[in-house]
Amino acid sequence: MAPGTYFNWDTVQIPSSETNTFHMLEEEVATPNLQHLFSYYDQNVFLPTASFENYIDPTGASLHPSDIDTSLYDPSISFAHSNIFPTSQQDTLLPSPKRQKCCCESKVQKLTAQTALPSSLYTDEFVVPYDNFYSSHIEELPQQISVEFSQFDSTCEDLKCVKKESEKTISPQSLAARERRRKISEKTQQLGKLVPGGPKMNTAEMLHAAAKYVKYLQAQVKLLELTKSLEEDNAETPSEMLHSLVVSSFVQEKLYTEEMCFVPKETVAFLKAWQSICGGEGMATLVIPANYRFLLSPLMLKGPCHASNIQIQIQGKVIAAEKNAWASYKYTWILITNVNGLTVDGSGGSLDGFGSSWWSCRNCPRPSVITFNSCNGLSVSSLNIINSPKAHININNCVGATFSAISIQSPGDTHNTDGIAVYGSKNIWIKDSTIACGDDCIAISGGSSYVNVTGSACGPGHGISLGNGNSNTVEQVHVQNCNFTNTQNGARIKTYADGSGYAREIRFEEITLIQTRNPIIIDQFYTNKGVSLKNGGVEVRGITFRGFHGTSMTGEAITLNCSPQGCFNITLDQINIASSQQGKPASCSCKNAHGTATSSVPSCPCLLP
């Protein structure tokens, strides 16, 4: 029993066999030897801070206070008071024991006990009334009392029982079992002190947490072994990257919560492997193995390389470090630069940008997941990218690059998370890809030409957009056989009012629209509406929209908002777009737009010749 437990002699609660701690006892008529001892006790009596194991005599028998005759108490004296023995001292970890009646329901055991009453029966907080304490009815307490208890049968008459003499002792097996339970309890308490939060857990929760904690410690040991191994190998790994890996709270959380998480030596030795491959001759392959999670800080794979053909196979899951683990450099997570003839195969693997640690800060510098810079003859296939802080793929200043079967997934409400962004590149193919993001699915910006997008799906997102920035020179772009689902835009050309350059020879053909807000849009006042034009703005000429069909979320399905300089050679052909707004037909609006509309629904009478 726990400290401060109350007992009522009229209804004594005795631990059942379910507690596996005490033997079953029942009330008996007290012997005359104890009558003088308890005559001043009230019906509620406080038991000492210990279990009944404190009352074991050398023979192994037990004495239980319930064996006292309640008829001999003096009701004028009370020990039971909430201020003296608060109920908060009760042990909340043990269930309430079952109640045993005097002798009327079950057969009981016979035992003999001899014990010394412990001093803990007294409390410094209690003061016995002077008259009662020195009454002639109270004798001096003996130092040791010998009491013999006998078993009785289940015959009751006026709450008096008939005794049948017998004796019983605790077996050595019971004592051994009790000792084992005591040792188990001690070890469990010691373990609880070692596990974080252990004292607040029950035994099952604590053991589960202990197992996870051991795995966490083992993973930390592996990190330390990894650090030492790199030092021994003299690996040329940036100390900043290694430090970010070891101290990252995200890394530590992953090590603690994911049982499969493991950081092999190859993760932070990536650069050393790259140096070996890039410096070799002929063909070389870098494999990121399956069934592992690689936790990486920003890294750069830099060329030029001696190898004529380098292949990177991403079979495992590569995860970016959290925001707090990054240094001041926040442009891109993985940068591959000046590497020609590179092939990236992402079959079975993925790149996780861990964007959730960045998205809440919309105006903070945020990194893209992967950037290919000045990589000619590039081929990327079956690459799966999720949760980018900003753009998922940047194609910058590349010539002759093919991206096929690319999968991009980020929430639709994430700010500036472009799917694929093309800058200053030429002869780019993007095909058979699926893109869901919070900004442009594909953005083709200044300096890009001969870009082909085919057989791809967009949504959610802002559609496929051409032009952005103050210097726009985009031409020879062909988008064909693509579909847009729940997107803000479909085919869009956007330029700044104070920009310069041109957007010309652009074709969107065979486009399927499902609940698209702006299926066809030219906006030459993007983000800075009302700004006065400089040098006439960006020239828009030779734009074709052909074979569009589907639904628009708004009534205005076609918007051609051109600068005062005008947009020229606009072609609308075989357009069939219906408004999803009941009772509101789709419409077309024009401003300074010159061109023709053939077989177009909605019609565009506002087009200028």
pTM above 0.85, yes or no: no
What integer is the mean pLDDT of 156-170? 50
8 Å CB contact between 75 and 41: no
Instruction: Give the number of other CB atoms < 10 A from CB of residue 395.
Output: 26
| Residue 536 pLDDT exceeds 80 | no
| Residue 594 pLDDT exceeds 50 | yes
243 is catalytic: no
Set 462, 478, 573, 594: catalytic member: 462
Asked whether residue 279 is assigned to any structural domain, the reply reads no
| Residue 534 pLDDT exceeds 80 | no
pLDDT at residue 568, rounded to an integer? 97
Q: For 69-205, list the strands marked E by DSSP.
A: 113-115, 145-147, 151-157, 160-164
pLDDT at residue 569, rounded to an integer? 98
Q: For 75-137, list the strands marked E by DSSP.
A: 113-115
Q: Which of 66-80, 271-285, 323-337, 587-601 has the highest mean pLDDT?
A: 587-601
The share of the chain scoring above pLDDT 90, in percent, equals 41
More confident residue, 595 or 324: 595
8 Å CB contact between 335 and 299: yes
What integer is the mean pLDDT of 163-189? 76
More confident residue, 11 or 398: 398
Asked whether residue 253 is assigned to any structural domain, the reply reads no
Asked whether residue 596 is assigned to any structural domain, the reply reads yes
Going by C-alpha positions, the residue among 526, 530, 524, 532 that lies closest to residue 570 is 524
Chain length of the chain:
609
Q: How far is CA 3 from CA 47, 49, 51, 398, in A?
A: 8, 4, 9, 77
Set 352, 439, 440, 523: catalytic member: 439
Domain count across the chain: 2
Computed on alpha carbons and rounded to an integer, the radius of gyration of the chain in Å comes to 42
More confident residue, 121 or 607: 607
Asked whether residue 183 is assigned to any structural domain, the reply reads no
- Burial class of residue 207, CB neighbours in 10 A (0-12, 13-18, 19+): middle
439 is catalytic: yes
Asked whether residue 391 is assigned to any structural domain, the reply reads no
Token representation of residue 277? 């491959």
Q: Which residues contact 503 (CB under 8 A, 6 or more apart)?
A: 466, 467, 472, 474, 475, 493, 495, 538, 539, 540, 541, 543
| Residue 290 pLDDT exceeds 60 | yes
Find the range with the poorest average confidence among 55-64, 230-239, 517-526.
Answer: 55-64
Asked whether residue 76 is assigned to any structural domain, the reply reads yes
Asked whether residue 456 is assigned to any structural domain, the reply reads no
Q: Which of 227-231, 265-269, 297-301 has the highest mean pLDDT?
A: 297-301
CA–CA dist 7, 43 (Å, integer): 8
pLDDT band at 168 (very low <50, low <70, confident <90, very high): low
Asked whether residue 35 is assigned to any structural domain, the reply reads yes
Q: Which residues of 266-295 are buried (b: 16+ CB within 10 A; e: fewer)?
A: bbbbbbbebeebbeeeeebebebeeebbbb
What integer is the mean pLDDT of 307-336? 86
Last residue of a domain, one of 135, 153, 170: 170
Last residue of a domain, one of 170, 197, 228: 170
More confident residue, 436 or 21: 436
Residue with tokens 């055991």: 109
| Residue 260 pLDDT exceeds 50 | no
CA–CA dist 20, 53 (Å, integer): 12
8 Å CB contact between 349 and 398: no
CA–CA dist 207, 315 (Å, integer): 35
Average pLDDT, the chain: 74
Range of the domain at 575: 468-609
Going by C-alpha positions, the residue among 122, 143, 117, 146 that lies closest to residue 55 is 117
Instruction: Give the model confidence (pLDDT) of 465-511 as tens digits.
Output: 998 655 679 999 999 999 999 999 999 999 888 788 899 999 999 99
Find the range with the poorest average confidence among 199-203, 236-240, 377-381, 517-521.
Answer: 236-240
CA–CA dist 563, 525 (Å, integer): 8
Last residue of a domain, one of 139, 170, 201: 170
What integer is the mean pLDDT of 114-129? 42
